[in-house]
Structure 1
Amino acid sequence: MDVSEAIQKRRSIRKYQGRQIEEEKLDRVLEAGRLAPSARNLQEWKFVIVRDEARRKRIAEAAKGQTFVGEAPVVIAACATVTDYVMTCGQLTYPIDLAIAVDHMTLKAVEEGLGTCWIGAFYEEEVKKVLNIPPEVRVVALLPIGYPDESPNPRPRKEMEEIVAFETW
Protein backbone atom coordinates (compact mmCIF):
# COMPACT_ATOMS: atom_id res chain seq x y z
CA MET A 1 0.00 0.00 0.00
CA ASP A 2 1.38 3.42 -0.88
CA VAL A 3 0.89 6.59 1.16
CA SER A 4 -1.88 7.91 -1.09
CA GLU A 5 -3.89 4.74 -0.62
CA ALA A 6 -3.41 4.85 3.17
CA ILE A 7 -4.56 8.49 3.23
CA GLN A 8 -7.66 7.63 1.21
CA LYS A 9 -8.50 4.50 3.27
CA ARG A 10 -7.99 6.04 6.73
CA ARG A 11 -11.17 6.42 8.78
CA SER A 12 -11.89 7.18 12.41
CA ILE A 13 -12.64 3.73 13.82
CA ARG A 14 -14.83 3.52 16.91
CA LYS A 15 -15.55 -0.21 16.90
CA TYR A 16 -12.80 -2.81 17.26
CA GLN A 17 -12.57 -6.59 17.00
CA GLY A 18 -11.56 -8.40 20.16
CA ARG A 19 -8.30 -9.74 18.76
CA GLN A 20 -4.93 -8.54 19.98
CA ILE A 21 -2.43 -6.64 17.84
CA GLU A 22 0.68 -8.55 16.89
CA GLU A 23 3.81 -7.12 18.52
CA GLU A 24 5.54 -6.64 15.16
CA LYS A 25 2.65 -4.57 13.80
CA LEU A 26 2.54 -2.35 16.86
CA ASP A 27 6.31 -1.92 16.66
CA ARG A 28 6.03 -0.78 13.03
CA VAL A 29 3.30 1.72 13.94
CA LEU A 30 5.46 3.12 16.75
CA GLU A 31 8.48 3.25 14.45
CA ALA A 32 6.48 5.42 12.04
CA GLY A 33 5.92 7.88 14.89
CA ARG A 34 9.56 7.74 15.93
CA LEU A 35 10.68 8.65 12.41
CA ALA A 36 8.46 11.74 12.18
CA PRO A 37 10.14 15.12 11.72
CA SER A 38 10.21 17.60 14.58
CA ALA A 39 11.34 21.19 15.06
CA ARG A 40 15.11 21.34 15.59
CA ASN A 41 14.94 17.53 15.67
CA LEU A 42 13.87 17.79 19.32
CA GLN A 43 11.86 14.56 19.09
CA GLU A 44 10.00 15.81 22.16
CA TRP A 45 7.70 12.84 22.47
CA LYS A 46 7.07 9.76 24.50
CA PHE A 47 4.38 7.25 23.61
CA VAL A 48 2.77 5.42 26.52
CA ILE A 49 1.34 2.09 25.38
CA VAL A 50 -1.66 0.90 27.38
CA ARG A 51 -2.85 -2.70 27.09
CA ASP A 52 -4.23 -3.33 30.56
CA GLU A 53 -8.02 -3.50 30.28
CA ALA A 54 -8.78 -1.78 33.59
CA ARG A 55 -6.41 1.06 32.76
CA ARG A 56 -7.89 1.42 29.25
CA LYS A 57 -11.37 1.68 30.80
CA ARG A 58 -10.15 4.45 33.12
CA ILE A 59 -8.67 6.27 30.14
CA ALA A 60 -12.03 5.95 28.37
CA GLU A 61 -13.70 7.59 31.37
CA ALA A 62 -11.11 10.40 31.23
CA ALA A 63 -11.90 10.70 27.51
CA LYS A 64 -15.32 12.07 28.39
CA GLY A 65 -16.85 8.61 28.65
CA GLN A 66 -16.05 7.54 25.09
CA THR A 67 -16.30 3.83 25.87
CA PHE A 68 -14.87 2.70 22.52
CA VAL A 69 -11.49 4.11 23.61
CA GLY A 70 -11.27 1.44 26.30
CA GLU A 71 -12.58 -1.28 23.99
CA ALA A 72 -9.58 -1.02 21.64
CA PRO A 73 -6.89 -3.58 22.58
CA VAL A 74 -4.26 -0.82 22.75
CA VAL A 75 -4.40 2.88 23.55
CA ILE A 76 -1.39 5.06 22.81
CA ALA A 77 -1.01 8.25 24.83
CA ALA A 78 1.10 10.66 22.76
CA CYS A 79 2.97 12.89 25.19
CA ALA A 80 5.21 15.94 24.81
CA THR A 81 8.33 16.06 26.98
CA VAL A 82 9.47 19.54 25.89
CA THR A 83 6.65 22.05 26.05
CA ASP A 84 8.30 25.46 26.04
CA TYR A 85 10.09 25.69 22.69
CA VAL A 86 8.59 28.41 20.49
CA MET A 87 9.34 28.74 16.78
CA THR A 88 10.20 32.08 15.17
CA CYS A 89 6.60 32.34 13.94
CA GLY A 90 5.44 32.37 17.56
CA GLN A 91 3.93 28.89 17.73
CA LEU A 92 4.82 26.21 20.25
CA THR A 93 6.47 23.23 18.59
CA TYR A 94 5.07 20.35 20.61
CA PRO A 95 1.45 20.32 19.36
CA ILE A 96 2.65 20.42 15.76
CA ASP A 97 5.42 17.86 16.20
CA LEU A 98 3.19 15.41 18.08
CA ALA A 99 0.45 15.85 15.46
CA ILE A 100 2.91 14.87 12.74
CA ALA A 101 4.09 11.82 14.70
CA VAL A 102 0.55 10.67 15.51
CA ASP A 103 -0.52 11.14 11.90
CA HIS A 104 2.43 9.00 10.77
CA MET A 105 1.18 6.31 13.17
CA THR A 106 -2.42 6.51 11.95
CA LEU A 107 -1.32 6.03 8.35
CA LYS A 108 1.04 3.17 9.19
CA ALA A 109 -1.80 1.55 11.15
CA VAL A 110 -3.96 1.61 8.01
CA GLU A 111 -1.17 -0.08 6.06
CA GLU A 112 -0.99 -2.76 8.78
CA GLY A 113 -4.74 -3.42 8.53
CA LEU A 114 -5.44 -1.62 11.82
CA GLY A 115 -7.79 1.21 12.68
CA THR A 116 -7.41 4.23 14.91
CA CYS A 117 -9.39 7.21 16.12
CA TRP A 118 -7.52 10.37 17.06
CA ILE A 119 -8.84 11.48 20.46
CA GLY A 120 -8.43 15.08 21.53
CA ALA A 121 -11.46 15.20 23.82
CA PHE A 122 -10.09 14.10 27.19
CA TYR A 123 -9.35 15.45 30.64
CA GLU A 124 -5.58 15.66 30.59
CA GLU A 125 -5.06 15.65 34.36
CA GLU A 126 -7.16 12.50 34.69
CA VAL A 127 -5.19 10.73 31.95
CA LYS A 128 -1.95 11.79 33.63
CA LYS A 129 -3.11 10.27 36.93
CA VAL A 130 -4.08 6.98 35.30
CA LEU A 131 -0.73 6.71 33.50
CA ASN A 132 1.48 8.26 36.19
CA ILE A 133 2.68 10.96 33.78
CA PRO A 134 4.85 13.70 35.32
CA PRO A 135 3.29 17.17 35.76
CA GLU A 136 5.62 18.88 33.25
CA VAL A 137 4.64 16.48 30.43
CA ARG A 138 1.63 17.26 28.21
CA VAL A 139 -0.71 14.61 26.84
CA VAL A 140 -1.42 15.77 23.29
CA ALA A 141 -3.55 12.92 21.94
CA LEU A 142 -4.92 9.50 22.71
CA LEU A 143 -4.89 6.91 19.95
CA PRO A 144 -6.98 3.77 20.42
CA ILE A 145 -5.76 1.18 17.94
CA GLY A 146 -6.98 -2.24 16.90
CA TYR A 147 -8.49 -4.33 14.15
CA PRO A 148 -11.56 -2.47 12.81
CA ASP A 149 -14.98 -4.00 13.31
CA GLU A 150 -16.64 -1.39 11.12
CA SER A 151 -16.03 0.21 7.75
CA PRO A 152 -17.29 3.80 7.84
CA ASN A 153 -17.98 5.66 4.62
CA PRO A 154 -15.74 8.59 3.71
CA ARG A 155 -16.69 11.89 5.33
CA PRO A 156 -17.53 14.85 3.06
CA ARG A 157 -14.56 17.03 2.14
CA LYS A 158 -14.47 20.56 0.79
CA GLU A 159 -13.51 21.07 -2.83
CA MET A 160 -9.93 22.12 -3.56
CA GLU A 161 -11.11 25.55 -4.77
CA GLU A 162 -12.48 26.23 -1.29
CA ILE A 163 -9.25 25.48 0.56
CA VAL A 164 -6.39 26.41 -1.80
CA ALA A 165 -5.13 29.83 -2.93
CA PHE A 166 -2.16 30.40 -5.22
CA GLU A 167 0.32 33.21 -4.61
CA THR A 168 -1.98 35.32 -2.39
CA TRP A 169 -5.05 34.82 -0.21
Structure 2
Amino acid sequence: MEVATAINERRSIRKYTPEPLTREEIEKILTAGMMAPSSSNLQPWYFVVIESKENMERLKDIMAIATNNLMPYFKSRFAKHPQVIADTSAFVRLLGGAPVCILAFLLKDDYTLRLSAIQSVAAAIENMLLTATDMNLGSCWLTAPLSGGVDDQIHAAFAPDKGELVAMVTLGHPDQAPAAPRRKDGRYTII
Protein backbone atom coordinates (compact mmCIF):
# COMPACT_ATOMS: atom_id res chain seq x y z
CA MET A 1 0.00 0.00 0.00
CA GLU A 2 1.30 3.47 -0.80
CA VAL A 3 1.75 5.90 2.08
CA ALA A 4 -0.90 8.29 0.71
CA THR A 5 -3.38 5.40 0.54
CA ALA A 6 -2.63 4.37 4.13
CA ILE A 7 -3.07 7.96 5.30
CA ASN A 8 -6.41 8.32 3.51
CA GLU A 9 -7.74 4.89 4.52
CA ARG A 10 -6.68 4.94 8.19
CA ARG A 11 -9.63 5.12 10.54
CA SER A 12 -9.96 5.07 14.31
CA ILE A 13 -11.37 1.61 14.93
CA ARG A 14 -13.38 1.23 18.12
CA LYS A 15 -14.67 -2.32 17.69
CA TYR A 16 -12.52 -5.40 17.08
CA THR A 17 -13.00 -9.10 16.40
CA PRO A 18 -11.55 -11.46 19.04
CA GLU A 19 -9.01 -12.83 16.54
CA PRO A 20 -5.52 -12.47 18.05
CA LEU A 21 -2.58 -10.82 16.36
CA THR A 22 0.53 -12.83 15.58
CA ARG A 23 3.84 -12.03 17.21
CA GLU A 24 5.15 -11.13 13.73
CA GLU A 25 2.33 -8.61 13.21
CA ILE A 26 3.01 -6.99 16.57
CA GLU A 27 6.74 -6.82 15.98
CA LYS A 28 6.27 -5.31 12.50
CA ILE A 29 4.11 -2.56 14.00
CA LEU A 30 6.59 -1.92 16.83
CA THR A 31 9.50 -1.79 14.39
CA ALA A 32 7.67 0.79 12.30
CA GLY A 33 7.17 2.87 15.43
CA MET A 34 10.84 2.71 16.29
CA MET A 35 11.76 3.92 12.79
CA ALA A 36 10.11 7.29 13.49
CA PRO A 37 12.15 10.48 13.49
CA SER A 38 13.04 11.77 16.94
CA SER A 39 14.37 14.97 18.39
CA SER A 40 18.19 14.86 18.65
CA ASN A 41 17.89 11.16 17.73
CA LEU A 42 16.95 10.43 21.35
CA GLN A 43 14.49 7.69 20.36
CA PRO A 44 12.73 8.48 23.65
CA TRP A 45 9.98 5.89 23.41
CA TYR A 46 9.23 2.78 25.37
CA PHE A 47 6.32 0.51 24.42
CA VAL A 48 4.53 -2.04 26.58
CA VAL A 49 2.38 -4.45 24.59
CA ILE A 50 -0.62 -5.77 26.48
CA GLU A 51 -1.95 -9.01 24.99
CA SER A 52 -2.53 -11.42 27.88
CA LYS A 53 -6.11 -11.64 29.13
CA GLU A 54 -4.97 -11.01 32.69
CA ASN A 55 -3.14 -7.78 31.85
CA MET A 56 -5.88 -6.65 29.48
CA GLU A 57 -8.42 -7.04 32.31
CA ARG A 58 -6.12 -5.12 34.63
CA LEU A 59 -5.91 -2.33 32.04
CA LYS A 60 -9.70 -2.32 31.53
CA ASP A 61 -10.21 -1.99 35.29
CA ILE A 62 -8.10 1.17 35.22
CA MET A 63 -9.87 2.43 32.08
CA ALA A 64 -13.23 2.03 33.84
CA ILE A 65 -12.04 4.70 36.27
CA ALA A 66 -10.99 6.93 33.35
CA THR A 67 -14.42 6.46 31.79
CA ASN A 68 -16.18 7.56 34.97
CA ASN A 69 -13.87 10.58 35.25
CA LEU A 70 -14.54 11.54 31.61
CA MET A 71 -18.34 11.28 31.74
CA PRO A 72 -18.88 15.00 32.48
CA TYR A 73 -16.77 15.84 29.42
CA PHE A 74 -18.57 13.31 27.21
CA LYS A 75 -21.95 14.65 28.32
CA SER A 76 -20.89 18.21 27.56
CA ARG A 77 -19.09 17.50 24.28
CA PHE A 78 -21.80 15.23 22.86
CA ALA A 79 -24.84 16.70 24.65
CA LYS A 80 -27.08 16.33 21.59
CA HIS A 81 -25.84 12.84 20.76
CA PRO A 82 -26.60 10.37 23.57
CA GLN A 83 -25.62 7.37 21.43
CA VAL A 84 -22.16 8.88 20.90
CA ILE A 85 -21.83 9.24 24.68
CA ALA A 86 -22.80 5.60 25.16
CA ASP A 87 -20.52 4.34 22.37
CA THR A 88 -17.55 6.46 23.43
CA SER A 89 -17.77 5.53 27.09
CA ALA A 90 -18.15 1.83 26.21
CA PHE A 91 -15.08 2.01 23.98
CA VAL A 92 -12.92 3.73 26.58
CA ARG A 93 -14.05 1.29 29.29
CA LEU A 94 -13.69 -1.92 27.24
CA LEU A 95 -11.19 -0.83 24.57
CA GLY A 96 -13.47 -2.12 21.84
CA GLY A 97 -12.57 -5.71 22.61
CA ALA A 98 -9.11 -5.16 21.12
CA PRO A 99 -6.86 -8.19 21.59
CA VAL A 100 -3.77 -5.95 21.85
CA CYS A 101 -3.08 -2.58 23.40
CA ILE A 102 0.24 -0.76 23.11
CA LEU A 103 1.09 1.63 25.92
CA ALA A 104 3.48 4.36 24.75
CA PHE A 105 5.73 5.82 27.44
CA LEU A 106 8.69 8.12 27.50
CA LEU A 107 11.76 5.98 28.10
CA LYS A 108 12.79 8.14 31.06
CA ASP A 109 11.56 11.12 33.07
CA ASP A 110 14.35 13.64 32.70
CA TYR A 111 14.43 14.81 29.08
CA THR A 112 15.71 18.38 28.85
CA LEU A 113 13.37 19.03 25.93
CA ARG A 114 10.29 17.19 27.26
CA LEU A 115 7.88 18.45 24.60
CA SER A 116 10.25 17.37 21.83
CA ALA A 117 10.48 13.92 23.40
CA ILE A 118 6.67 13.65 23.56
CA GLN A 119 6.42 14.73 19.91
CA SER A 120 8.91 12.02 19.01
CA VAL A 121 6.75 9.39 20.71
CA ALA A 122 3.74 10.80 18.83
CA ALA A 123 5.60 10.35 15.53
CA ALA A 124 6.27 6.72 16.48
CA ILE A 125 2.57 6.20 17.25
CA GLU A 126 1.56 7.56 13.84
CA ASN A 127 4.01 5.17 12.15
CA MET A 128 2.38 2.29 14.03
CA LEU A 129 -1.14 3.38 13.03
CA LEU A 130 -0.22 3.64 9.36
CA THR A 131 1.56 0.29 9.42
CA ALA A 132 -1.50 -1.34 11.01
CA THR A 133 -3.63 0.13 8.20
CA ASP A 134 -1.19 -1.23 5.62
CA MET A 135 -1.59 -4.67 7.23
CA ASN A 136 -5.42 -4.42 7.10
CA LEU A 137 -5.52 -4.16 10.87
CA GLY A 138 -7.46 -1.65 12.93
CA SER A 139 -6.09 0.77 15.48
CA CYS A 140 -7.14 3.69 17.64
CA TRP A 141 -4.94 6.29 19.33
CA LEU A 142 -6.22 7.09 22.82
CA THR A 143 -5.29 9.88 25.18
CA ALA A 144 -8.23 9.00 27.45
CA PRO A 145 -5.93 7.67 30.20
CA LEU A 146 -4.36 11.13 30.49
CA SER A 147 -7.54 13.19 30.26
CA GLY A 148 -9.29 10.62 32.48
CA GLY A 149 -6.65 10.98 35.17
CA VAL A 150 -5.38 7.39 35.24
CA ASP A 151 -2.01 7.83 33.53
CA ASP A 152 -0.14 7.50 36.83
CA GLN A 153 -2.02 4.27 37.62
CA ILE A 154 -1.14 2.80 34.21
CA HIS A 155 2.45 3.92 34.66
CA ALA A 156 2.66 2.27 38.09
CA ALA A 157 0.98 -0.93 36.89
CA PHE A 158 2.86 -1.51 33.64
CA ALA A 159 6.10 0.52 33.46
CA PRO A 160 7.03 1.94 36.87
CA ASP A 161 10.70 2.24 35.94
CA LYS A 162 10.05 4.25 32.74
CA GLY A 163 8.92 7.78 32.02
CA GLU A 164 5.37 9.09 31.81
CA LEU A 165 2.58 7.62 29.71
CA VAL A 166 2.11 9.52 26.44
CA ALA A 167 -0.81 7.60 24.90
CA MET A 168 -2.14 4.14 24.17
CA VAL A 169 -3.09 2.36 20.96
CA THR A 170 -5.66 -0.40 20.56
CA LEU A 171 -4.89 -2.93 17.82
CA GLY A 172 -6.74 -5.81 16.22
CA HIS A 173 -8.82 -7.02 13.34
CA PRO A 174 -11.54 -4.42 12.72
CA ASP A 175 -15.16 -5.33 13.31
CA GLN A 176 -16.40 -2.08 11.79
CA ALA A 177 -15.66 0.10 8.77
CA PRO A 178 -16.38 3.67 9.81
CA ALA A 179 -16.59 6.43 7.23
CA ALA A 180 -14.02 9.18 7.30
CA PRO A 181 -15.16 12.10 9.42
CA ARG A 182 -15.57 15.37 7.56
CA ARG A 183 -12.40 17.41 7.64
CA LYS A 184 -12.83 20.94 8.97
CA ASP A 185 -12.05 23.96 6.84
CA GLY A 186 -9.69 26.77 7.77
CA ARG A 187 -6.93 24.61 9.21
CA TYR A 188 -4.00 26.03 7.23
CA THR A 189 -2.60 29.14 5.57
CA ILE A 190 -0.03 29.28 2.80
CA ILE A 191 1.99 32.49 2.89
Query: Is TM more than 0.5 here?
Result: yes
Cα separation, partners in 2 of 1:82 and 1:126, compared to 1, 3 Å: closer
Q: Which amino acid aligns with 1:112?
A: M
Contact kept? 1:114, 1:145, Cα under 8 Å: yes
| Normalised TM-score (structure 1) | 0.88
Deviation readout 1:65-98 (Å, 9 max, x if unpaired): 42332721111011102444345xxx72122011
Paired residues, number? 161
Identity %: 32
- Between stretches 18-27 and 52-61, larger displacement belongs to 52-61
Contact kept? 1:9, 1:110, Cα under 8 Å: yes
Aligned residue number for residue 130 of structure 1: 157
- 1:18 partner SS: coil
Q: How does 1:90-109 map to 2 (within 5 A)?
A: 92-109=115-132
- 1:164 partner SS: coil
**Larger helix fraction of residues:** 2
- Between stretches 136-145 and 147-156, larger displacement belongs to 136-145
Choose which of 67, 71, 78 in structure 1 pairs with 2:93.
67
Q: How does 1:14-25 map to 2 (within 5 A)?
A: 14-25=14-25
Tell me, in whole angstroms, the C-alpha distance in 2 between the residues paired with 1:106 and 1:112: 10
Q: How does 1:81-92 map to 2 (within 5 A)?
A: 81-87=107-113, 92=115
- 1:5 partner SS: helix
Tell me, in whole angstroms, the C-alpha distance in 2 between the residues paired with 1:85 and 1:54: 33
4+ runs of 1 displaced by more than 6 Å? none
Cα separation, partners in 2 of 1:71 and 1:130, compared to 1, 3 Å: farther
Aligned-residue CA RMSD (Å): 1.7
| Normalised TM-score (structure 2) | 0.78
Where does structure 1 lack aligned partners over 5 or more consecutive residues? none
Q: Which amino acid aligns with 1:98?
A: V
Deviation readout 1:11-62 (Å, 9 max, x if unpaired): 1111101111122111111111010010000001111111111211221232
Contact kept? 2:13, 2:140, Cα under 8 Å: yes
Cα separation, partners in 2 of 1:132 and 1:33, compared to 1, 3 Å: closer
Tell me, in whole angstroms, the C-alpha distance in 1 between the residues paired with 2:115 and 2:104: 16
Where does structure 2 lack aligned partners over 5 or more consecutive residues? 68-91
Contact kept? 2:142, 2:168, Cα under 8 Å: yes
CA drift of 1:158 comes to 1.7
Contact kept? 2:16, 2:173, Cα under 8 Å: yes
Tell me, in whole angstroms, the C-alpha distance in 1 between the residues paired with 2:40 and 2:108: 12
Tell me, in whole angstroms, the C-alpha distance in 2 between the residues paired with 1:141 and 1:34: 15
- 1:164 matched to 2:191? The reply is no
Contact kept? 1:78, 1:98, Cα under 8 Å: yes
